[in-house]
Amino acid sequence: MSPSVKPATDDEIGSMETREVSPAHFVIKIESFSLLDKCGIKKYETNEFVAGEYKWKLIIYPNGDDDENNADYISIYLAMVGTSTTSLLPANWEVNAVFNILILNQSSGNYLFSGGARRFQAMKLEWGFSKFISKEILLDPTNGYLINDNCVFGAEVFVVKSESAATECLSLKNVVIPYTHDWNITNFSKLENSCALEEFVVGGHNWSITLCPRGWGELTDRCVIVLVSYIGSVNYSSRVKACCTVSIKNQVNNNHAKKTGTQWFTATKRHFACGLTNVTNPNKGFIVNDCCLLNLEMSIEAVVR
């Protein structure tokens, strides 16, 4: 069984894992690994390979990179190449990629690997591991990574296309003073059953309010319905959470007819319907001289863009 390995990395990409699946994009076999040092090869750069429409290569340091603290490890880096000659990259370009670097356990047929997501750009073309695997573990043939002085490394790179990513922003609102507005509605008895009162803006979002003095459907002649409707947003919000308090004021005392509700308003759920009973009863004080006073108090609690 292979020993547990937790590589130290310049970029803190994470610990080693084991898998059966072969590298998706590149494999290099090094024969007579022990001769690299004798042949003076302190750094080996592989041939280029293509992944995600870009060119890459592995850079292998058999005795660690230039840091003397890494001399007991194999250092391996993934490098993006061809960036100085390609016309596909605009100024201030960057390429986001998820990559893995692997080594084959020739005894089990599995791969030991580590990787992560990194941003490649002109100022940083290489990401990888200064301590990918210790030479002590590699050189011990019982571990299975170096058999007959041969070892196999691999790489895979998956480019993240930013234009394909769906984005969402949840913005929570701390409203101290909510929006409030009054409507003085005259000739109440002569109103049509659906009376659009006004369009207005709260928190950068467009709304309307509609009064249905005789209700509708099963509630016809049983209550007054006030409809607060979400029309749209100037900042392309897809969802808005709002708290609405609808009141018809009692003109005789302070016993107002009031309903409060909080809901998410979306393209398919645009309306907050509030039913107020006993409002049209002439003895209750809500309709005086055929006039009623409607109030809306509204606050935006959250916005999703």
Query: Per-residue pLDDT for the chain (305 aa), expressed as one digit of tens each?
Result: 444 444 334 544 447 899 999 999 999 999 999 999 888 899 999 999 999 889 999 999 999 987 678 889 999 999 999 876 555 666 678 899 999 999 999 999 999 999 989 989 888 999 999 999 999 999 999 999 999 999 999 999 999 876 656 678 888 887 667 899 999 999 998 988 888 889 999 988 899 999 999 888 888 878 899 999 999 875 566 789 999 999 999 999 988 999 999 999 988 889 999 899 888 888 899 999 999 999 999 999 998 87
pLDDT of residue 91: 65
CA distance 69 to 8: 11
pLDDT at 167: 74
Dist. CA 88–CA 192, nearest whole Å: 63
Domain boundaries, the chain: 17-164, 170-304
Q: Going by C-beta distance under 8 Å and a sequence separation of 6 or more, which residues neighbour residue 61?
A: 42, 43, 44, 70, 74, 75, 76
Nearest of 58, 28, 305 to residue 153 by alpha carbon: 28
170-304: CATH topology? 2.60.210
Task: Give the pLDDT score at 9.
Answer: 43
Predicted local confidence at residue 132, as pLDDT? 92
Spatial CB neighbours of 165, under 8 Å, sequence gap ≥ 6 = none
CATH class of 17-164: mainly beta
